[in-house]
Amino acid sequence: MNCVIFGAPGSGKGTQAAALCEAFQMVHVSTGDMLREAVRNGTELGKKAQALMADGKLVPDELVGGIVREKILNLVGQGKGILFDGYPRNLDQAKFLDACLTEAGSQIDAVAVLDLDPAVLVKRICGRRLCTKPGCTGAFNIHFMPSKQEGVCDLCGSPLQQRKDDNEETLKERLAVYNSQSLPSLEYYDQKDLLIRVNADDKVESVRAALLGGIRAKCGCNKGCCA
């Protein structure tokens, strides 16, 4: 099974992606993961990407596309399913992804979208407080999951801080980019009857159950991946 997951910053995409991969035995891949792996493996495309990143330049779509194609052919060749996260970002990439999967003898089975009201996103992002101690995973939210003592990590007692980019102005910019880039892709997948929309303003377990149920219904295969 191959799926794509979409979600704005703060929608819980990372948490749900991990659960989907475990449930359907998919490999979680993102643009960043693929770039880093290509660089680490020293492929020709990886070397080109590394040179650009070393100069502080963005890696162009055509180069990212080449790395995506390499990854798809490798994983599908091993009989593995893929959960795409952060790719495709636009309609051209969505069409290119379809072409790569077709070349590999595969296809996208479902596209999951985590919908969340912008006001809730603001609270989720701007309310985050992270532990300042290196290695500590303490993460809290002043609105939904506050620490027992304000400004102090429950796990280690170190101070909590708000990330500089966790502010409403930056979030609005990120949301505008996400919406403008993702909308054409979502319309494309909707026309293919692959889209699953889930309300992400609920308990993690409830969102997960809705995603799992929706994907099983879309896939409906007899390969065992939907069991």
Active site (annotated) includes residue 124: no
Catalytic residue among 48, 89, 123, 197: 89
Active site (annotated) includes residue 69: no
DSSP line for the chain: -EEEEEE-TTS-HHHHHHHHHHHHTEEEEEHHHHHHHHHHHT-HHHHHHHHHHHTTPPPPHHHHHHHHHHHHHHHHHTT-EEEEES---SHHHHHHHHHHHHHTT----EEEEEE--HHHHHHHHHTEEEE-STT---EEETTTB--SBTTB-TTT-PBEE--TT-SHHHHHHHHHHHHHHHHHHHHHHHHTT-EEEEE-SS-HHHHHHHHHHHHHHHH--SSSTT-
Active site (annotated) includes residue 128: yes
Active site (annotated) includes residue 40: no
Catalytic residue among 124, 128, 129, 218: 128
Active site (annotated) includes residue 174: yes
Residues known to be catalytic: 13, 89, 128, 163, 174
